[in-house]
C-alpha cells in the first residue's frame, strides 16, 4: 500500500534530496561504473507511477555486446558479457566430470589425481575433516573470479535491469539501480553466510579475545575456507575490473582503488598468517552494513516515502557495524595481541610457517585502521550533507530531470 502523499513544498523536497545526496556520496564496496555515467545524481522518484522508458536512452550500452567468444576472452570483455563468462565457467566442471568418466571406464587408474577438482572444491582436506591452506587455493580463486563475473553481469543485465524498467526507472538511473540491486543480492548472501560462519567460531558475537587465545588457526572448517576464498575471489574480480578499466572509471575511482587495495591486503595476509577469525569478523562488519546501503539506494529510486525511514535505519546499521564494531576490533588488536602464546609470536620465519613477531601487531592494525579512515571519510560526507540540508538548506543537486536527461544523452553520444 503506498505511503501518504508528500506535500510538494520546497523544504521537504530539499530534505528528500539530501537523502539522495548522502547515499550517492557513499560508493558500495563492489561498485564499478557503467560505460555511461550520468553527470550528476538525480532527485528521488515521486510516489506517482512513472511511464516506462523507450528508445535510445534505455538501450544497453555497446560494451555489453559480445564480439564473439574468443574475441571476448582476448580483450577481457568476457567479464562484462554473461554468455562468455558462462562458457568459461563450464570448462572446469566439464574437465572434472570427463576425468571421472575416464576413471569409471578404466581408461585412467583409480589413483590418478583429478587436478580439476581443485578449481571447483577447496583443497588440502586434513584427516580430521578440516582444511588447511594450499597453493591450489590460487586455482580455486581464479576459477571463482570467472564465477563472480558471470553472476554479477547476469544479475545486473538479466534480472535487475528488467526489474528497473518495469518499475518505470529510465535513463542512467537504470544502470545505477542494477548496481545497487546486485549489491543487495551479493551482500545479503555473503553477509548472511559470514554471520553463519562466525556463529560456529569461538569469536561469536565479537568475543575478540579468541582472535588470539587459540592462535594459530591453521585448521579451518569447510564452510570457513570456502567462505574466505569466495570473498577473496570476489574482491580480486572487482579489483581487476578497476585496474584494467574495462568499465569507465567513476569520479570516486581513487577512493575505490584505495579501498580495494586495503581489502585485498586484509584478506590475503589474514588468510596467509592464520588470522581468519579476525578476518571473518571484519567481513561481517562491512557486508552487513552494505546490505542496508544497497537497499537504501534501491528504495530511493522507487519511493520518496520509504526512502527516509530506510535511510535512517541504514545510518544506524552503518554506525554500529562500520564504526562501533570495527573500532572494537582495532581495540582488540591494540590491547589483546599479547594474549597469543609467546611461542607463537617469537619471530617472523615464513619458511617455517611462523608469521608473528612483535612488529606484526602493527601490520595487522594498519590495514584495519586505514579501512576505518576510509569509512569515516564517507561517514563524514553523509552527516555533512544532512546537516547542511536540515540547518542551512544548502544543496547543489536541485536540478530537474530534463536537465539531467539532456546531459546524460550528451555523455552517451560521446561514449558511443
Question: What pLDDT digit, counting tens, does each position of 237-261 carry?
Answer: 988 888 777 656 666 677 777 778 8
Provide the percentage of residues in the chain whose pLDDT is more than 90. Answer: 57
Rounded Cα distance between 140 and 346, Å, is 32
Question: What pLDDT digit, counting tens, does each position of 138-159 carry?
Answer: 999 999 999 999 999 999 999 9
Question: What pLDDT digit, counting tens, does each position of 19-61 carry?
Answer: 666 666 666 655 554 433 433 443 444 444 444 444 555 667 7
172's grid cell: 542512467
pTM above 0.75, yes or no: yes
Of the candidate ranges 12-26, 196-210, 326-340, 345-359, the one whose mean pLDDT is the lowest: 12-26
Q: What is the pLDDT of residue 202?
A: 97
Q: Is residue 225 over pLDDT 50?
A: yes
Q: What is the pLDDT of residue 14?
A: 47
* Per-residue pLDDT band at 399 (split at 50, 70, 90): very low
Q: What is the pLDDT of residue 413?
A: 42
* Per-residue pLDDT band at 390 (split at 50, 70, 90): low
Higher pLDDT pick, 12 / 62: 62
* Per-residue pLDDT band at 230 (split at 50, 70, 90): very high
Q: What is the mean pLDDT of residues 330-352?
A: 93
Amino acid at each position: 500500500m503506498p505511503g501518504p502523499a508528500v506535500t510538494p513544498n520546497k523544504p521537504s523536497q530539499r530534505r528528500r534530496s539530501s537523502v539522495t545526496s548522502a547515499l550517492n556520496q557513499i560508493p558500495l564496496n563492489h561498485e564499478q561504473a557503467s560505460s555511461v555515467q550520468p553527470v550528476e545524481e538525480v532527485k528521488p522518484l515521486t510516489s506517482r507511477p512513472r511511464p516506462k522508458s523507450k528508445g535510445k536512452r534505455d538501450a544497453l550500452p555497446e560494451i555489453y555486446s559480445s564480439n564473439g567468444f574468443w574475441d571476448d576472452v582476448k580483450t577481457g570483455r568476457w567479464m562484462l558479457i554473461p554468455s562468455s563468462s558462462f562458457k568459461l565457467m563450464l570448462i572446469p566442471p566439464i574437465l572434472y566430470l570427463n576425468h571421472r568418466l575416464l576413471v569409471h571406464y578404466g581408461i585412467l587408474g583409480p589413483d590418478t589425481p583429478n587436478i580439476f577438482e581443485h578449481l571447483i572444491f577447496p583443497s588440502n582436506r586434513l584427516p580430521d575433516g578440516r582444511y588447511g591452506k594450499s597453493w591450489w587455493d590460487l586455482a580455486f580463486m581464479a576459477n571463482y573470479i570467472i564465477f563472480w563475473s558471470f553472476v554479477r553481469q547476469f544479475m545486473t543485465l538479466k534480472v535487475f535491469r528488467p526489474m528497473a524498467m518495469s518499475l518505470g526507472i529510465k535513463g542512467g538511473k537504470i544502470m545505477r539501480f542494477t548496481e545497487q540491486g546486485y549489491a543487495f543480492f551479493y551482500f545479503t548472501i555473503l553477509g548472511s553466510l559470514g554471520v553463519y560462519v562466525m556463529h560456529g567460531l569461538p569469536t561469536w558475537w565479537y568475543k575478540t579475545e579468541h582472535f588470539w587465545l587459540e592462535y594459530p588457526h591453521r585448521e579451518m572448517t569447510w564452510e570457513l575456507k570456502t567462505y574466505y576464498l569466495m570473498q577473496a575471489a570476489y574482491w580480486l574480480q572487482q579489483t581487476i575490473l578497476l585496474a584494467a578499466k574495462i568499465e569507465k572509471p567513476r569520479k570516486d575511482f581513487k577512493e575505490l582503488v584505495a579501498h580495494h587495495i586495503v581489502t585485498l591486503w586484509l584478506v590475503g595476509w589474514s588468510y596467509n598468517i592464520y588470522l581468519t577469525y579476525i578476518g571473518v569478523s571484519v567481513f561481517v562488519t562491512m557486508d552487513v552494513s552494505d546490505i542496508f546501503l544497497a537497499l537504501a539506494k534501491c528504495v530511493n529510486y522507487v519511493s520518496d516515502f520509504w526512502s527516509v525511514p530506510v535511510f535512517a535505519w541504514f545510518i544506524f546499521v552503518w554506525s554500529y557495524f562500520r564504526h562501533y564494531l570495527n573500532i572494537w576490533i582495532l581495540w582488540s588488536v591494540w590491547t589483546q595481541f599479547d594474549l597469543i602464546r609467546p611461542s607463537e609470536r617469537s619471530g617472523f620465519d615464513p619458511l617455517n610457517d611462523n608469521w608473528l613477531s612483535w612488529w606484526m601487531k602493527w601490520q595487522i592494525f594498519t590495514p584495519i585502521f586505514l579501512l576505518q579512515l576510509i569509512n569515516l571519510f564517507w561517514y563524514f560526507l553523509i552527516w555533512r550533507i544532512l546537516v547542511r540540508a536540515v540547518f542551512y538548506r544548502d544543496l547543489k543537486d536541485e536540478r530537474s530531470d530534463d536537465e539531467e536527461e539532456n546531459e546524460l544523452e550528451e555523455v552517451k553520444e560521446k561514449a558511443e
